[in-house]
Chains A and B, each alone.
Chain A
Amino acid sequence: MRLRERFIPWLLLAPALAVLAVLFGTSIVYGVAQSLGYLTFIGQRTLTFAAYERILIGPSPIATEFWSSLGFSLWVSAASTLLAAAGALGVAVVATGRREAGPTGIFLLHLNLAVPHLVWAIALSLFLAQSGLLARIAAALGWIATPADFPVLVRDRYGVGIILDYVTKEIPFLTLILLAILRSQPRTYNVIAENLGATAWQRLRYVTFPLVRPGLLAGSLLVFAFIFGAYEVPAILGVRFPRTVAALALDFFLNPDLQQRAEGMAISVIMAMVVVVVAVGGYWLNERQTR
């Protein structure tokens, strides 16, 4: 009886799992095989770690570029995720606080969820570029001499434009998750805490935050993994050096020298492993704190 109970959830999930396993499983296996040098279309069938060596250690300029790309990607993903999470928490708390947000408020907040990331990136570039709308308005108002004097916010070396894009897109997304959690909690917790003399900050830290932490963590991990592997926004709002790891991997994959696909796949595999490590680390952190 108990065995069957344990099996039933898996059976119910089986169709979805089968699709995922076949599509993603085969891609992952092919990706790993190609990263190990198994490139059948040029007749190469030996397995070797040469691609990994060239990227991680090799004396070639590829190695230095890989590490700087990895650092840049981690910086952009971490900064965007943390800022988006903090922003979402703030917005969610205000939206469920004393002056509660009505349905129109929530609708406006979530309006840009419907805008694709690519379109949002182009919009930001049109607004914030040095020949963009804000630059021309500022020059017309006399705040700066020419539009070219506008501060560099997109296509800059620190990824400010990319971070801005992701923060503005992910705050509504994470707020959605947090609101769902906060609204399902009874209000009495906050009222009791306030009665007992807790300040707003203490309420946030000791009452609200522990309630939303699991959801916030899951959402943040999603956002981190998404940003870490994204290509189109850094392609539009980023610079040629340093590039994100996704752009680097694609560059290798599309290289006319077909040998370089092994390097492209190796970078993709490393990206997947980084995300897995971060996810495991996040869950471990969560487990440790709730024990």
Chain B
Amino acid sequence: MFYRTLRPFFLLFIGAILAACAATPNPNPAETSSATTDTLVAGDPASFTTAEWESVLDAARGQTVNWYIWGGSETINAFVDTFYGQPLQEQYGITLKRVPLNDTVDAVNQVLSEKEAGQDPGQVDLIWINGENFASLKQADMLYSGWTRALPNSALVDWDNPAVNLDFGEPTADMESPWSSAQFQFIYDSARMDAETLPRSYADLKTWACENPGRFTYIAPGPGAFQGTRFVKGALFELSGGAEQWLNFDQTLWEQWSPPLWTYFNEIKPCLWRAGETYPKDENELHSLFANQEVDFSITQAIAGAGPLIEQGLVPETARAFVFDDYMIGDFNYVAIPKNAPNKAAALVLANLILDPTLQAAQILPQNGFGLGFGIDVTKATDPEAQTALENAAAQLGDSATPAADLASSLVGDSAAPYQALVEEGWRANVLVQP
């Protein structure tokens, strides 16, 4: 009986919702606004053009830059506030507003929601980004482009290096500027193991794991767990005898080498922790297994090795980083500016400041709190003071870091973008699900 009385209300409600949905947002509002901020308009203090750096500095003065970065490390937060916040204020008159994120995908979702709501200008000026999040925003066409080579300090970046101009295999296309670099490494506990007994290749690892069953595991490859994907890719490179062949996508190459890859992981499976029934889903889980002495190895990407993790109390003080002899994937992480950023000039100044040699020298030292590697090419620094600073920093990384020579000799670049999904899905279907 009450359905009849309620029907008109239902119809009204559905009608209102549909009307709200049907209102399409202004198509490409970002296009129109970036056109006006990117060309000099006489008398408008907020306009600038990237061709004239002075105009960018003038426009940026007095602005606030909203920098959305992952906030999960107190030390990194302090580093950013001190090393970038202060110079920005003192030298450029820009206020840095660091917005901590639980996960960079939150910034991606925010920009996408702003696009859907037609909100321009939005809230996000600069994002610490790479890999899959960069690919998402690029796919949604929400990144400001054409600015990275216009930064004065961009001369220090080795743009010809595929590790710089390809992000998880996706071309950066002048949309993101480097901040720092990272390389895949393992961590062992020097109190429990001797450096001589460490495995130095995937083949060695298989022998070691089966001699010590249940003492090794790796992060399950998957979206958001790229360290696992990187570990599996390293095995692919070793099995196929080289990493360069994977820089371009080749389906036949994949079909040739993926069966031996899955065979390797299925053969090593019974010797793994929990007999390969389950795997840690992210770095934190693996660190806690390592710290609890359930497994003997963990992983890290920081150039400062285990140093940042020891400072945070996640691993014991005797933890040390090491690498295999080859096939340790290294890459860069970047900053990018959304198309609907409200303070583009200030974001440009900050992106340029990040590439400053003195600050790059400071960022690699674990005691400053950041601990990732250089974003610039140190050989391109011409200023003698800058060169000294960079050399000194590189010499001070401490015991818990992998020696720089080992890192350099084992460094390889990441593979082409389509392989990421193939490796992740293939691993799930051929290794995880198999009994």
Contact of A48 with B by CB under 8 A: no
Chain A binder among B13-21, B308-316, B325-333, B354-362 = B13-21
A contact face: mostly helix, strand, loop, or mixed: helix
* B274 contacts A155, C-beta separation under 8 Å: yes
Contact of A107 with B by CB under 8 A: no
* B21 contacts A131, C-beta separation under 8 Å: no
Chain A residues numbered 6-43 whose CB sits less than 8 Å from any CB in chain B: 6-7, 10, 21, 25-26, 29-30, 33, 40-42
Q: How far, in whole Å, are A129 and B428 apart by their CA atoms in the complex? A: 24
**Known A40-B116, A61-B429: A33·B21 in contact at CB below 8 Å:** yes
Question: In the complex, how many angstroms separate the beta carbon of A233 from the nearest chain B beta carbon?
Answer: 14
Contact residues on A (Cβ < 8 Å of other chain), bracket: 20 to 34
* B115 contacts A29, C-beta separation under 8 Å: no
Q: How far, in whole Å, are A30 and B117 apart by their CA atoms in the complex? A: 13
What residues of chain B lie closer than 8 Å to A50, measured between beta carbons?
A: none
Interface 1/0 per residue, B101-145 and A, CB below 8 Å? 000010000001101100000000000000111011001100000
Chain A binder among B75-83, B275-283, B334-342, B387-395 = B275-283
- Interchain CB contact (< 8 A) of B116 among A41, A235, A251: A41
* A255 contacts B223, C-beta separation under 8 Å: yes
* B292 contacts A131, C-beta separation under 8 Å: yes
* A157 contacts B132, C-beta separation under 8 Å: no
* A148 contacts B135, C-beta separation under 8 Å: no
* B278 contacts A240, C-beta separation under 8 Å: yes
Contact of B5 with A by CB under 8 A: yes
**Known A42-B140, A131-B289, A148-B214: A256·B433 in contact at CB below 8 Å:** no
Most buried by A among B115, B220, B294: B294
Contact of B270 with A by CB under 8 A: no
- Interchain CB contact (< 8 A) of A7 among B5, B281, B292: B5
What residues of chain A lie closer than 8 Å to B223, measured between beta carbons?
A: 251, 254-256
Interface 1/0 per residue, B253-293 and A, CB below 8 Å? 00000000000000000000010011101000000010011
Q: How far, in whole Å, are A61 and B424 apart by their CA atoms in the complex? A: 12
* A61 contacts B428, C-beta separation under 8 Å: yes
Q: How far, in whole Å, are A257 and B5 apart by their CA atoms in the complex? A: 45
A256 and chain B: residue at smallest CB distance: B132
Contact of B45 with A by CB under 8 A: no
Question: In the complex, how many angstroms separate the beta carbon of A250 from the nearest chain B beta carbon?
Answer: 10
Contact of A152 with B by CB under 8 A: yes
Contact of A80 with B by CB under 8 A: no
What residues of chain B lie closer than 8 Å to A65, measured between beta carbons?
A: 428, 433
**Known A29-B17, A42-B140: A254·B224 in contact at CB below 8 Å:** yes
Contact residues on B (Cβ < 8 Å of other chain), bracket: 35 or more
Interface 1/0 per residue, A232-256 and B, CB below 8 Å? 0001000111000000000100111
Interface 1/0 per residue, A167-191 and B, CB below 8 Å? 0000000000000000000000000
What residues of chain B lie closer than 8 Å to A81, measured between beta carbons?
A: none
Question: In the complex, how many angstroms separate the beta carbon of A22 from the nearest chain B beta carbon?
Answer: 9
Q: How far, in whole Å, are A214 and B279 apart by their CA atoms in the complex? A: 42
Q: How far, in whole Å, are A130 and B295 apart by their CA atoms in the complex? A: 11
What residues of chain B lie closer than 8 Å to A42, measured between beta carbons?
A: 139-140
Contact of A258 with B by CB under 8 A: yes
* B140 contacts A241, C-beta separation under 8 Å: no
Q: How far, in whole Å, are A42 and B432 apart by their CA atoms in the complex? A: 32
Q: How far, in whole Å, are A44 and B155 apart by their CA atoms in the complex? A: 39
Chain B residues numbered 137-173 whose CB sits less than 8 Å from any CB in chain A: 139-140
**Known A33-B21, A241-B433: A258·B116 in contact at CB below 8 Å:** no
Q: How far, in whole Å, are A240 and B217 apart by their CA atoms in the complex? A: 13
What residues of chain B lie closer than 8 Å to A131, measured between beta carbons?
A: 289, 292-294
Q: How far, in whole Å, are A21 and B12 apart by their CA atoms in the complex? A: 12
Question: In the complex, how many angstroms separate the beta carbon of B356 from the nearest chain A beta carbon?
Answer: 31
**Known A256-B136, A258-B136, A258-B140: A148·B294 in contact at CB below 8 Å:** yes
Contact of B85 with A by CB under 8 A: no
What residues of chain A lie closer than 8 Å to B87, measured between beta carbons?
A: none
**Known A25-B13, A42-B139, A258-B140: A6·B277 in contact at CB below 8 Å:** no
What residues of chain B lie closer than 8 Å to A41, measured between beta carbons?
A: 112-113, 115-116, 140
* A239 contacts B13, C-beta separation under 8 Å: no
What residues of chain A lie closer than 8 Å to B105, measured between beta carbons?
A: 254
B27 and chain A: residue at smallest CB distance: A43
* A240 contacts B224, C-beta separation under 8 Å: no
* B222 contacts A251, C-beta separation under 8 Å: yes
Q: Which 7 A-B pairs have the closest CB atoms?
A: A256-B132, A239-B278, A131-B292, A131-B294, A41-B112, A256-B136, A61-B429
Q: For the A-B complex with A25-B13, A148-B214, A240-B281 known, give 8 more contacts whose Cβ atoms are closer than 8 Å.
A: A10-B5, A10-B6, A40-B24, A41-B116, A129-B294, A157-B278, A240-B279, A254-B224
Q: Can you spell out 10 A-B residue pairs with CB atoms less than 8 angstroms apart?
A: A7-B5, A26-B20, A41-B112, A156-B278, A157-B277, A240-B279, A240-B281, A254-B105, A254-B223, A258-B112
